[in-house]
Amino acid sequence: MLYREAGDFKTTYAADSQTFPIKFDRWRYWAVLAIAWLVIPFFINDYWANAILVPFLIYAIAAIGLNILTGYCGQVSLGTGGFMAVGAYSVYKLMTSFPDVSILIHVVLAGFITAAVGTAFGLPSLRIKGFYLAVATLAAQFFLVWLFNKVPWFYNYSASGQISAPERFVGSIAVTGAETAPWAQYMICLFFVTLCAVLARNLTRGSLGRQWMAIRDMDIAAEIIGVDPLKAKLTAFAVSSFFIGIAGALFFAVYLGAVEVGEAFGIQKSFLVLFMCIIGGLGSIFGSFAGAAFLVLLPVALKVLGVDVLGWPSSTVAHLQLVAVGGLIMFFLIKEPHGLAQLWRVAKEKLRMWPFPY
């Protein structure tokens, strides 16, 4: 009954190639956007912003970025944490060096700086593949963290080596710093998420996305039919790092407000974002959102259930959480390698014929 194509006639080429070809999908999409933009900001409080929605939105951007590289172009990367650090430190240096320029411009510029760094670290991908590339990106992760710890210029010579975001405004509304209202934090992240998701969705549908997927599916065949591997791989690294850089910038400036590189952008962050892609679904924008939501919500949900409802000791719940995440990753790798996005696709197929399946 839902998600039916019947009766939804496409009379122009534009209508035929739109993002959501099914009418119900379009309605759902606009409904989600309307709730996110017009309803949630009026109800959000500190806890929901800081513990759930802001980290979810930021991790969603990072997961989209990694999904472009790993899910669409097939290049495994373990350098996500390092690239997020580049975004964070770029936006910090820009914020403190040019305090009069809008933070929105700084965040986008931080994305471009990260794109440049990502492209440089993407060069080895032209020679090496698979596990070996993963090791090369792992080197990027460790090198970047070491660099931001070692060179005091990056943290403006502060005694503790921490960077902390000064207060910045969009119009007259504070979006960074301690006085930021929860809805302002949420709105700036939502703005960038919407921008990034629309951009990513359209890039992956276009010729660039098809080149990436061709490289992913079989690089030699892609080269024979005329896909330039140099261009395809490096653009994937650049676009992916651009998104990850924006995520890192928001993570530091809007979400945490103060970070130290080893703790906030260590190897665990790279794995966390990779798990989001795997659990959410490789090669799917929706999967990036689903994976981010899942891994942000799971610990909070487990904590609320275990500590507040069942009254278990907090340490037991923390240990259980590790077990649950590990178990789920194994479960998804074995049972559903395409992740939550595939479950969603199957559900859509079922709903199409519901309530009269044949």
Partner 1 sequence: MNMKTFATAALAGLLASGPALAELVLPDLSYRTGPYAANGTPFSDGYQDYLNLLNARDGGIGGEMIRIDECETAYNTEKGVECYEATKGDNSLIYQPLSTGITYQLIPKATADSIPMHTMGYGRTSAAAGETFPWVFNYPATYWDAASVAVNYLLSENGDDLSGKTIALIYHNSAYGKEPIRTLEALSEKHGFKLTQLPVDPPGQEQKSQWLQIRRERPDYVIMWGWGVQNQVAIQEAANVGYPMDQFIGNWWAGAEPDVLPAGMAADGYKSLNMNRIQDYPVLDEIRTQVIDAGNGAGDGSNVGQVLYVRGMYAAMLAAEAIAKAQELAGTSTVTPAQVRDGMEALEITNARMTELGMEGIGPEFSVSCQNHSGSGEGLVQQWNATDKVWVPLTDFIAPDKDVIDPLIAEDAAAYAAENGITPGCL
Q: Which residues bind partner 1 (CB under 8 A)?
A: 45-48, 50-52, 55, 149, 159-162, 164, 166-167, 177-179, 256-260, 262-264, 297, 299-301, 303-305, 307-309, 313-315, 317-319, 322
Least distance from partner 1 to the Cβ atom of residue 301, Å? 5
3-state helix/strand/coil string of the chain: CCCCCCCCCCCCHHHHCCCCCCHHHHHHHHHHHHHHHHHHHHHCCHHHHHHHHHHHHHHHHHHHHHHHHHHHCCCCCCCHHHHHHHHHHHHHHHHHHCCCCCHHHHHHHHHHHHHHHHHHHHHHHHCCCHHHHHHHHHHHHHHHHHHHHHCHHHHCCCCCCCEECCCCEECCEECCCCCCCHHHHHHHHHHHHHHHHHHHHHHHHCHHHHHHHHHHHCHHHHHHCCCCHHHHHHHHHHHHHHHHHHHHHHHHHHHHCEECHHHHCCHHHHHHHHHHHHHHCCCCHHHHHHHHHHHHHHHHHHHHHHHHHCCCCHHHHHHHHHHHHHHHHHHHHHHCCCHHHHHHHHHHHHHHHCCCCC
Decide whether 149 or 194 has the Cβ nearer to partner 1: 149
Decide whether 2 or 302 has the Cβ nearer to partner 1: 302
Least distance from partner 1 to the Cβ atom of residue 82, Å? 14
Least distance from partner 1 to the Cβ atom of residue 210, Å? 37
Least distance from partner 1 to the Cβ atom of residue 256, Å? 6
Decide whether 313 or 337 has the Cβ nearer to partner 1: 313
Decide whether 43 or 356 has the Cβ nearer to partner 1: 43
Least distance from partner 1 to the Cβ atom of residue 179, Å? 6
Least distance from partner 1 to the Cβ atom of residue 47, Å? 4
Least distance from partner 1 to the Cβ atom of residue 222, Å? 39
Decide whether 41 or 161 has the Cβ nearer to partner 1: 161
Alpha-carbon span 179 to 175, nearest angstrom: 8
Decide whether 17 or 316 has the Cβ nearer to partner 1: 316
Decide whether 55 or 118 has the Cβ nearer to partner 1: 55
